């Protein structure tokens, strides 16, 4: 019986559990540090995140905060990559361990996605892009061709990154922003065209 441990019993964790079921996992359980949370998406929360270390089951970290996700993931083994069956992914795409690709996402040819990434519902990543470790392309966001998005950068819901753009590590691109110039300084960027907020 395929068994999966999901670390993080949040809304994001629910969606990850759904993808896991569609990937044939029959036994799913969660870990979460909030002792008040006893179940998630109908699956039990069996203890705190610390229990993930030294565990031999397949596992994935379903925590939206990229720093927390990285901190937990880097101590774990048997990490899986989960891809929703209704995601469209070119045969020439590489995706790192611990990453998840949600329903309706499209990833085109020659893209490299790092480890611990989230390619969220309906997001698109076009040809020849590089998405760094622990980055998140949010729901409905679009990254055009030949972009390089470095580690721990979060592209917000519905944001657009124009083609041939580089975004440095540690950025947050606000919901609905349109990035038309390279971003070389970590920070939060919002608006059309995207401007530095802080």
d(CA 161, CA 49): 34
What is the footprint of ligand COA within residues 6-65 (CB under 6 A)?
none
Q: How far is the CB of 49 from ligand COA (least distance, A)?
A: 21
Q: How far is the CB of 109 from ligand COA (least distance, A)?
A: 25
Q: Is 172 a residue that touches ligand COA (CB under 6 A)?
A: yes
The H or E element containing residue 179 is: strand 178-179
Q: How far is the CB of 37 from ligand COA (least distance, A)?
A: 20
The one catalytic residue among 12, 127, 136, 142: 127
Largest CA distance in the chain: 50
Query: What is the CA angle 190-100-67, rounded to 5?
Result: 55
Contact predicate 30/9, CB 8 Å: yes
197 binds ligand COA (CB under 6 A): yes
Least Å distance between CB 23 and ligand COA? 21
Considering only CA atoms, which of 163, 144, 155, 138 is closest in space to residue 190? 155
* Residue 20 vs 119, nearer CB to ligand COA: 119
Q: What are the respective helix, strand and coil percentages of the chain, to the nearest 5?
A: 10, 30, 60
Please pick, from the candidates 37, 41, 106, 190, the single residue that binds ligand COA as defined by CB under 6 A: 190
Residue 67 three-state SS: helix
State which of residues 96, 145, 170, 176 lies at the interface with ligand COA (CB under 6 A). 176
Q: How far is the CB of 152 from ligand COA (least distance, A)?
A: 14
98 or 156, CB closer to ligand COA?
Answer: 156
Work out whether strand 39-40 and strand 43-44 pair parallel, antiparallel, or are unpaired: antiparallel
Q: Is 156 in the site for ligand COA (CB under 6 A)?
A: yes
Per DSSP, what are the bridge partners of residue 192? none
Nearest 5 degrees, angle CA 58-CA 112-CA 170? 85
Catalytic residue flag (residue 12): no
Which of 13, 72, 174, 179 contacts ligand COA by CB under 6 A?
174
Q: Which of residues 91-150 bind ligand COA (CB under 6 A)?
A: 120, 138-139
Chain residues binding ligand COA by CB under 6 A are 120, 138-139, 156-157, 172, 174-177, 188, 190-191, 197
Catalytic residues: 127
């Amino acid at each position: 019986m395929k068994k999966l441990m999901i670390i993080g019993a949040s809304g994001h964790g629910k969606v990850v559990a759904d993808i896991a079921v569609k990937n044939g996992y029959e036994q799913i359980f969660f870990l979460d540090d909030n002792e008040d949370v006893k179940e998630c998406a109908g699956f039990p929360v069996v203890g705190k995140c610390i229990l993930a270390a030294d565990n031999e089951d397949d596992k994935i970290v379903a925590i939206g905060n990229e720093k927390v996700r990285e901190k937990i993931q880097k101590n774990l083994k048997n990490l899986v990559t989960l891809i929703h069956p209704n995601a469209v992914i070119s045969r020439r795409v590489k995706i790192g361990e611990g990453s998840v690709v949600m329903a309706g996402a499209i990833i085109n040819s020659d893209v490299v996605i790092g480890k611990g990434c989230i390619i969220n519902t309906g997001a698109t990543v076009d040809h020849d892009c590089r998405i760094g470790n622990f980055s998140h392309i949010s729901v409905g966001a679009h990254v055009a061709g030949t972009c390089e998005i470095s580690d721990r950068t979060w592209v917000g819901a519905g944001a657009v990154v124009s083609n041939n753009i580089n975004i440095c590590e540690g950025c947050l691109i606000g919901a609905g922003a349109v990035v038309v110039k390279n971003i070389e300084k970590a920070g939060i960027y919002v608006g059309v065209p995207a401007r530095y907020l802080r």
